[in-house]
Amino acid sequence: MASTLEEVAKLAGVSRSTVSRVINHSPHVSADTRAKVWEAIEDSGYQPHAAARSLVTNSTRIISVIIPEAVTTLFSDPFFPLLLRGATDACNTKQYHLMLSLFTDPAERQEMYRRVLYSGLVDGVIVASNPLDDPLIPDLQEDRIPFISVGRYPDQHVHYVDVDNVGGARMATEHLIRLGHRRIATIAGPQDTVAGQDRLKGYRQALQARSIPVLDELIAEGDFAEASGQAAGRQLLSNRPTAIFAASDMMAIGALKALRNGGLQVPQDVALAGFDDIPAASVIEPGLTTVRQPIQRLGSLAVEILVSVLDGEHAADCPTHRVVLPTELVVRASCGAAW
């Protein structure tokens, strides 16, 4: 189990170098020797010592997923587990390991930054749910640490993967338009996040494409959480929309409560659509029409791209990867569609 190269070498009657070559699949070993060595490896249950190997190769095959602030909304939403699921799947097949870094306060992050990144503990980093004004990405760039962002990032040289937030929001809004609605309100997400911005953009695009005026009075802003959706719903009520597109399911659920409190029925009086397709969306009454995102794929793709960058290691001449995955409209009862 805890044997060393040297011991395996003795067992196989060859030198340490030869065993190393076999382990690393070097072609310069005769078939006989190779077989002999493999046998010795099997017999001894040998496994290379990770630290020793890292020390000389200068690579740990560990990728860190950094979530700068342990965003509370992440826990009412399976985004986070699904992302990790996808990422670990990809890591398993690529023979990499996943390290998880969550932070509550910035001091903690600074501390981690030194400990994890400067100590050579990880080969690369996946940054998820990073607020636009966070210094993390600039820091990573400056220190030339390979990374990829989950979520669009407005910089020429940053690799990222994202879901098509604009397209998803447009689809949902178009769907409401197609059902005959013209006074369509939106509860936008926080405008300091890319997702919040993009979903509002999609809403705007859909209206503009049909020459429906975009009215400020029909746009409220929330923070993706339920309470903010309820507040926004209450506020929008007085402007009498016939439909509401909320930029998150939790806000849609909040809005649903506000509408009910205001004596309005969904979908009879007001149609409702959300974004995310959280588990609760299919469970509430009426079922919530929403936009589904391929989050697990997002996670695996992030790993795959990062690994390709890491393995390629042609540093400068490697093109920037930017992948946007399509979203999918899930029609349920809340929009009042027969479809």
By CB under 8 A, name the binding residues for a second copy: 1-2, 45, 47-52, 54-55, 60, 62, 70, 74-76, 78, 80-82, 84-85, 88-89, 92, 95, 97-104, 108, 111-112, 114-116, 118-121, 143, 226, 250, 253, 278-280, 283-285
Please name which of 247, 252, 290, 248 lies closest in space to residue 270, comparing C-alpha atoms.
Answer: 252
Nearer to DNA, 38 or 234 (CB): 38
d(CA 36, CA 15): 12
AA letter at 125: V
* Binding flag, residue 131, DNA (CB under 7 A): no
Burial environment of residue 131 by CB neighbours within 10 A (0 to 12, 13 to 18, 19 or more): middle
Pick one of DNA, a second copy, none as the site partner of residue 17 (Cβ within 5 to 8 A by kind): DNA
**Residue whose entry in the numeric block shows the structure tokens 């009879």:** 268
Q: Among 1, 25, 27, 133, which residue interacts with DNA (rule: CB under 7 A)? A: 27
User: CA–CA separation, 331 vs 289, rounded Å?
Assistant: 5
Region from 12-20, 103-111, 209-217, 218-226 binding DNA, contact rule CB under 7 A: 12-20
Which partner in a second copy, DNA, none is near 5 (CB below 5 to 8 A by kind)?
DNA
**H-assigned helices in the chain:** 5-12, 16-23, 31-44, 50-57, 79-94, 106-112, 136-142, 165-178, 194-209, 226-237, 249-261, 295-312
Among 10, 38, 48, 337, binds DNA (CB under 7 A): 48
- Residue 280 interacts with which of a second copy, DNA, none, CB < 5 to 8 Å by class: a second copy
CB 324 within 8 A of CB 163: yes
- Is residue 310 close enough to count as binding DNA by CB under 7 A? no
Q: Report the chain's terminal Cα–Cα distance, integer Å.
A: 62
Q: Residue 190 interacts with DNA (CB under 7 A)?
A: no
Among 1, 11, 25, 29, binds DNA (CB under 7 A): 29
Q: Is 21 in the site for DNA (CB under 7 A)?
A: yes
Q: Which is nearer to DNA, 19 or 83 (CB)?
A: 19
Rounded distance between C-alpha atoms, residue 24 and residue 4, angstroms: 15
- Decide if residue 115 touches DNA (CB under 7 A): no
CA 173 vs. chain centroid, Å, equals: 24
Strands 97-102 and 322-325: unpaired
Binder of residue 32, out of DNA, a second copy, none (CB less than 5 to 8 A by kind): DNA
Q: If contact means CB under 5 to 8 A according to the sort of partner, which of a second copy, DNA, none does residue 80 touch?
A: a second copy
d(CA 15, CA 149): 44
27 binds, among DNA, a second copy, none (CB under 5 to 8 A by kind): DNA
172 lies in the site for DNA, by CB under 7 A: no
The yes or no reply on residue 107 touching DNA (CB under 7 A) is: no
Residues contacting residue 243 through CB under 8 Å, at least 6 positions apart: 176, 179, 181, 183, 184, 185, 270, 271, 272, 273, 335
Give, for 11, the enclosing helix (H) or strand (E): helix 5-12
- Size of interface with DNA, in residues (CB under 7 A): 28
For position 244 contacting DNA by CB under 7 A, the verdict is: no
Q: What residues make contact with DNA under the rule CB under 7 A?
A: 2, 4-6, 13-18, 20-21, 23-24, 27-30, 32-33, 46, 48-49, 52-53, 55-57
